[in-house]
A and B are shown apart, each in its own frame.
Chain A
Amino acid sequence: MIRVDVKNISKKFIIDSKKDEGALLKLVNALRGNFKKEERHALENISFKVGSGEVTGIIGKNGAGKSTLLKIIAGIYEPSSGSACTDGACVYLTSLGLGLMPKLTMRENIYLMGSIMGLEQKEIDQKFNAIVNFSGLEKFVDQKVYQFSSGMIARLSFSTTFFCIEHKNPDILLVDEVFDSGGDFDFKEKAAKKMEELIKGQASVIIASHDLKIIEKYCSRVLYFREGKIALEGDPETVIKKYQEDK
């Protein structure tokens, strides 16, 4: 069963050379007829399929189009042409700790993050204890997050994100460079196990990472991206070898 079907996707970004200009400058430039805009092709004619339960890796240098592709599959970006069809619930997982609000307590943060990730109040109630226990921060539930150390923040955000994802039980999991959970050694080990459980579960997974060991360990197939195109596709060993040669 095909879970992700990417057909001829291309993505052009229009890079406004003066993206941060204010209204007045925009007006002046418009009056002068100065519409200087650059186009950058982030992806060109990408096609591939991911079957049910399959784990696919994506490697490539920075700016090769890995994240853009995952965001298009997740529905965050729209492709310029082509289509990405997904069959089933899809979750995009990127750098952790984005949504935490320092002025709220840990409890409030868990509820807020949970609801933004699409869980109902009742569902968060059910998961709440598990999240707190996993993070090991039982004593700090009603403390505000700005009083937390960076390790504690990492624990909180990893636990909340993962339990929410687990609860949603996604059919497709898009993982964008999130293997270092932060926190101390014990927690890292615990987090890595949790991550492994998630990847080895029933979901179809696409992992974009620079960590070649992880790609080799989990993926059955790897796509090597170079300047927005698939340079090579195949088994991890061959593709990684080619990538390292190119470097």
Chain B
Amino acid sequence: MGKIKTFIENSRKILNLSFSIAKAKFNMRNEGSYLGVLWYLLEPLSFFAILLFLGGVISNTSIPRYPLYLLLGLIMFNFFMSSTSSATNVINANSGFIKSFKTDPEMFVVANTIQFAFSHIFELAIFLFFLVVFKMNIIFILAYPFIFFFFFLFVLGASFILSILGAYIIDFNNIWNVAGRFLFFATPIFYLIPRQTWLFAVSRFNPLYHYISISRDIIVYNTFPVFYGMLLVAVVSVCFFVVGLFVFEKNKSKLAEKL
């Protein structure tokens, strides 16, 4: 009983601390003003504009409500990619603390993911604006926090593993960014995978595909996917988180020496 109490107490402490660090880092990144957020939004938005243009002019896409389909896919992928890419560097970036304080280094990884979740809120606000422009029923966006909760766990689990790899391999960040490019094209963000193709079969094993397509089904097309499918995604997210945390816990005591 005492152990569980200590565990809960410790987790609460780490979460509080992660939140303070994330807030400070987020402020720092935006130079303390909300105008700084514009810089952060510029990349996904310009990418959105280009892909929208290409989709409309060149391939003449037949996906219904394509701008919404595209934007939601883009911002979800952006959250995944920016937080995991930054996670590969997070241990090195905080080496000063890790080497000189007895800290729980988990907090730097959690803070990193929370920091990008803050930015994600701004992207969502833009998405919400588009929903209104397209005269969609915005009530369906209320389902997003539930999906995002599991998506967040998945990203956090991945970040735990990637942060350890990043601490051991100095150029891992480059490798992961290249892998991210592949992942971007392998995930149906700006196109639709035709069913009964090999790519569709492969995509079923890509967790990102599921988070994005469940969100699109509900928010953009107002249909609910089968319950068991969603349950499976939730279970996979929790598993990913647990495995990631396990890998991190196994390796964290060696971090101070490695840096």
Q: A98-B96, A103-B31, A116-B17 are in contact. Are A77 and B256 (CB under 8 A)?
A: yes
Binary interface profile of B, 78-120, with partner A (CB < 8 Å = 1, else 0)? 0000000000000000001101111100000000000000000
A-B contact sample (4 more), CB < 8 A, given A23-B171, A98-B100, A105-B32: A71-B256, A101-B28, A115-B16, A115-B20
Q: Point out the residue from A71, A105, A115 that lies within 8 Å of B17, measured CB to CB.
A: A115
Chain B residues with Cβ below 8 Å from A105 are 32
B contacts with A, residue count (CB < 8 A): 26
B124 to chain A, nearest CB (A): 26
Closest B residue to A71 by beta carbon equals B256
Binary interface profile of B, 40-56, with partner A (CB < 8 Å = 1, else 0)? 00000000000000000
Is there a chain A Cβ closer than 8 Å to B175's Cβ? yes
A96 to chain B, nearest CB (A): 10
Q: Point out the residue from B24, B31, B103 that lies within 8 Å of A112, measured CB to CB.
A: B24
Q: Tell me the complex Cα distance, A24–B172, Å.
A: 10
Cβ–Cβ contact A116 & B97, under 8 A: yes
Task: Say which one of A43-51, A87-95, A227-235 lies at the interface with B.
Answer: A87-95
Binary interface profile of A, 47-89, with partner B (CB < 8 Å = 1, else 0)? 0000000000000000000000001001111100000000000
Cβ–Cβ contact B172 & A92, under 8 A: no
Cβ–Cβ contact A22 & B20, under 8 A: no
A contacts with B, residue count (CB < 8 A): 32
Q: Point out the residue from A22, A104, A108 that lies within 8 Å of B170, measured CB to CB.
A: A22
Cβ–Cβ contact B172 & A23, under 8 A: yes
Q: Which B98-150 residues have a C-beta within 8 angstroms of A?
A: 99-103
Q: Point out the residue from A13, A76, A101 that lies within 8 Å of B99, measured CB to CB.
A: A76
Chain B residues with Cβ below 8 Å from A90 are 102
Is there a chain B Cβ closer than 8 Å to A99's Cβ? yes
Cβ–Cβ contact B28 & A95, under 8 A: no
Is there a chain A Cβ closer than 8 Å to B183's Cβ? no
Q: A76-B102, A99-B97, A116-B97 are in contact. Are A22 and B169 (CB under 8 A)?
A: yes
Cβ–Cβ contact B96 & A92, under 8 A: no
Closest A residue to B29 by beta carbon equals A103
Closest A residue to B254 by beta carbon equals A78
Cβ–Cβ contact B170 & A20, under 8 A: yes
Cβ–Cβ contact A108 & B27, under 8 A: yes
Q: Tell me the complex Cα distance, A203–B82, Å.
A: 45
Cβ–Cβ contact B100 & A94, under 8 A: yes
Is there a chain A Cβ closer than 8 Å to B253's Cβ? yes
Q: Tell me the complex Cα distance, A26–B168, Å.
A: 11
Binary interface profile of B, 169-200, with partner A (CB < 8 Å = 1, else 0)? 11110010000000000000000000000000
